[in-house]
Amino acid sequence: MKVSRSILAVAIAITSCAILVHAQQTTPPRAPQDQQKIPPIQVTTGLVHLVATVTDRRHNFITNLNKGDFKILEDGIPQEIRFFGRETDLPLRIALLLDTSNSIRPRLEFEQDAAIDFLSSVIRRNKDMAFLMTFDNEPEVIQDFTGDIHLLTAAIRKQRAGGGTALHDAIFKAADKLSNPPLAPAPNPEVRRVLVVISDGEDNLSDHALSDAIEAAIRAEASIYAISTNTEWISTSAVAGEKRAGPGDLSHKNHLGPGDKVLEKFADQSGGRVFFPYRVDDLAQSFVDIGSELRSQYFIAYSPANPPVTSKYRRIDVQTDRKGLIVRSRKGYFATAPASAPPSD
């Protein structure tokens, strides 16, 4: 059957330029067992999207940089920045993951206070939305996307601890949901995807590996902000009121436990951040810092100088020429080659 030339032309134009861009950790993990459940994020054709946070050595946010202050390297090759902006006001779509496993029982109230404080300080009426997921033996969405703080608070307060810990499965499932969130109204439907995990970081029941969970989160273009409920190995001088150097320096961990290292890896590979608050009183500042960071970032987009012809992992290095500044962003992405054009008549 003959295909009309106009339809064929459109098909060829779309398939020849479409590139799906996704993020991934520095060392590519193995593919998730059910990776097909994570739908790809559709982005501007041919562009890699990045969100970058810049701080000085005192952890103060630097928000006055310009396009010319940044340099992007992909697999070591300089890239031309096509779009640049200060990511200060995009609507947030937040996945809040609350550990309700038996191991967290002594600290469940700590977690609940942490979650409520965070949402109360970040969610803006009629703009931002969040959903609540708990995880013990398996992850479960308790409250779907909503901007109603009262609904989220009530859902959080009802939770009880018990069972194992399926942290990796929870992040994998939350990433799936974040990959298709409620969008903002036209004309600018873009939203900022954020995954907040409140946990001790220990996993003993997941079907998915740590690498699976990291890959799923980055493919969903979600930055992970982890809040550790593990209070071991925290400096008593910091807890007693040692002066903070800047945002996030609430206390100092003399040693990171296995769970802390897991949370740190989630945050580092996705371009997020990990926090180690000691007391509930410290949490408020942690949440203010997360909210401040989400409003103090840069949006950068570039078109790869060497467009992919096969699916492969590509490393990204975001730099600034300004001395003494630290840039945090995701470590790379999986570039999917364009589909083959349909044959001609």
- Ordered by start, the domain boundaries in the chain are 5-87+307-336, 92-294
| Ramachandran sector of residue 241 (left: φ over 0; alpha: ψ -120 to 50; beta: rest) | left
**Distances, alpha carbon 92 to alpha carbons 8, 99, 134, 215, 224, in Å:** 39, 22, 20, 21, 13
Contact 197, 101 (CB under 8 A): no
Give domain 92-294's CATH superfamily. von Willebrand factor, type A domain (3.40.50.410)
pTM score, whole prediction: 0.77
Q: DSSP H helical segments within 236-315, as ranges?
A: 236-239, 258-270, 280-294
**Bridge-based pairing state of the strands 223-228 and 273-275:** parallel
CA proximity to 43, closest of 74, 9, 20, 27: 20
Tell me if 209 sits within 8 A of 234, measured CB to CB: no
- Measuring CA to CA, which residue among 156, 155, 167 is closest to residue 101? 167
Helices (H), 295-345: none
Asked if 146 and 152 touch (Cβ cutoff 8 Å), the reply is yes
DSSP codes of every residue in 158-220: T----S---HHHHHHHHHHHHTSPPPPPTT----EEEEEEEE----SS-SS-HHHHHHHHHHT
* Residues 63 and 320 sit within 8 Å (Cβ to Cβ): no
pLDDT string in tens for the chain (345-residue length): 444 444 434 343 434 433 333 333 334 444 444 433 444 343 445 788 889 999 999 989 999 999 999 999 999 999 999 999 886 678 899 999 999 999 888 888 878 887 898 898 889 999 999 999 999 999 999 999 999 999 999 999 999 999 999 999 999 999 999 999 999 888 888 888 999 998 989 999 999 999 999 989 988 889 999 988 887 755 544 444 444 444 444 445 567 889 999 999 999 989 999 988 877 667 667 777 888 888 889 989 999 998 876 667 788 999 999 999 999 998 888 776 555 444 444
Residues linked to residue 78 through DSSP beta bridges, in sequence order = 73
DSSP class of residue 260?
Answer: H
Residue ranges with strand state E in the chain: 20-23, 48-56, 70-74, 77-79, 81-87, 92-99, 129-135, 139-146, 192-199, 223-228, 273-275, 297-302, 312-320, 325-328, 332-336
CB atoms within 10 A of CB 215: 28
Residue corresponding to tokens 């300004």:
322
Structure tokens belonging to residue 152: 């989220």
- Residues sharing a CB contact under 8 Å with residue 131, sequence separation 6 or more, in sequence order: 94, 95, 96, 141, 143, 144, 145, 146, 177
